[in-house]
Amino acid sequence: MEADEASKQRRSKQASPICCCRRAVTRSITRNRSNPSEEEAPKADSTNKTGARRCFLDKCKSTRVAADMETNESKFPDEALGKEDADSEFCPLKFHGCSSSDAVQEIVCTFNEKKIDILKKLGLGGLQYLKRGYHNSRHLVFWLLKRMDVENMEIRLADGTRVKMTLDSVEKILGMRCTGTHMATCSSKVTKYVKIRLQERFGFDESKEFPDLDDLRKVLRRDYGQDMCQYDEETFMIAMSAFCCAYMFGPGKRTASVPADIWEFISFPKKLLNCNWGGYVLMVLQSSARAVQMNMRSNPTSILLGGCWLYLQVVRI
């Protein structure tokens, strides 16, 4: 009997709802501690995924910005540096020009005292000191012309310094008059009156419109002795002015020739006695630099170089 009662009490305890609840709660708490709930697990995963995605996007963004900066630097460099780099890269295959101090020196070295006096009166006395054999580097002349600040008449050197081209520098380098009346160039046709005067003075054929370089050389080399009449002296002045403009001061051309736009001015000797030669030298250099810089835009195979190369190469020092 006692055994039966003990077994009944044991079975009643096992069937007690309190014990069942305790076991259920214990299993539930243990399960919660060991494994996250279904709601909490996705939240943690989504948080981790969102953080990783944000890091990835930030990295991509920074990489894209760096790439864009490099692209922008290559396409749109600093204005000054970009121009210099472009300038240094471009170089035509050929250069054409006729500036030659030797051609003027060959004539001047034959002058006697009378002709030297006329040269001084003309305002070109410094040309008597020209030495033969000045080397003109066309690559250097091109480099200087393309780096010229046309508006301010300055040359930008590679180290950033600027060389100012002034009348004083022309006077010191070339020894010519840099005061007085600026030479007026005429783009229109030369008047018939001037053409007749030139034909009378130089005696060239009617088939020619103006005297050529051979006609000028004949006048400059002629032996006048020590006594020259005023008419011969004036003709000599016109010939010397035209010769210098054709070889030393003139615009860019393949071969030397007197610029047609100066005949209207130099045909009157009284104007030459007060002519500002330095102003003309700078004016031609300015025009030549502008033409070179404009032509560079089309990457030509050849370029014309004008102006006084001797002055341009010396003034940069």
Query: What's the pLDDT tens digit per position in 160-196?
Result: 889 999 999 999 999 999 999 999 888 778 899 999 9
Position 267 scores a pLDDT of 95
Query: What's the pLDDT tens digit per position in 7-43?
Result: 555 555 444 444 444 444 444 444 444 444 444 444 4
What's the whole-number mean pLDDT along residues 49-72?
A: 48
Position 50 scores a pLDDT of 53
| Contact assessment for residue 241 and residue 122, using Cβ atoms and an 8 Å cutoff | yes
Position 77 scores a pLDDT of 35
pLDDT: is 240 or 317 the higher one? Answer: 240
Q: How far apart are CA 57 and CA 238, in angstroms?
A: 80
Which of 87-101, 145-159, 208-222 shows the lowest per-residue confidence on average (mean pLDDT)? 87-101
What's the whole-number mean pLDDT along residues 43-52?
A: 51
CA angle in degrees (0–180, nearest 5) for 279-236-120? 50
Position 10 scores a pLDDT of 54
Position 188 scores a pLDDT of 78
* Residue 187 Cα distances to 184, 265, 270, 302, angstroms: 10, 12, 21, 26
The full set of domain ranges for the chain reads: 19-76, 80-315
Q: How far apart are CA 214 and CA 245, in angstroms?
A: 15
In which region does residue 175 sit, left (phi positive, over 0), alpha (psi from -120 to 50) or beta (all else)?
Answer: left
pLDDT: is 213 or 91 the higher one? Answer: 213
Q: How many CB atoms lie within 10 A of CB 181?
A: 13
Q: How far apart are CA 180 and CA 272, in angstroms?
A: 10
pLDDT band at 250 (very low <50, low <70, confident <90, very high): confident
Distance of CA 10 to the CA centre of its chain: 109
pLDDT: is 66 or 14 the higher one? Answer: 14
Which of 38-52, 82-96, 198-212, 288-302 shows the lowest per-residue confidence on average (mean pLDDT)? 38-52
| Contact assessment for residue 286 and residue 150, using Cβ atoms and an 8 Å cutoff | yes
pLDDT: is 3 or 235 the higher one? Answer: 235
Q: What is the residue whose two structure tokens read 């309190």?
A: 18
CA angle in degrees (0–180, nearest 5) for 235-236-239? 85
CB-based burial, 222-247: b 16+ in 10 Å, e otherwise: eeeeeebeeeebbbbbbbbbbbbbbb
Position 51 scores a pLDDT of 60
* Residue of 239, 243, 218 lying closest to 130 (CA atoms): 243
Position 134 scores a pLDDT of 79
Please compute Rg for the chain using Cα positions: 45
Q: How far apart are CA 282 and CA 308, in angstroms?
A: 9
Position 17 scores a pLDDT of 47
Q: How far apart are CA 251 and CA 109, in angstroms?
A: 25
Mean of the per-residue pLDDT values for the chain? 79
Q: How many CB atoms lie within 10 A of CB 6?
A: 10
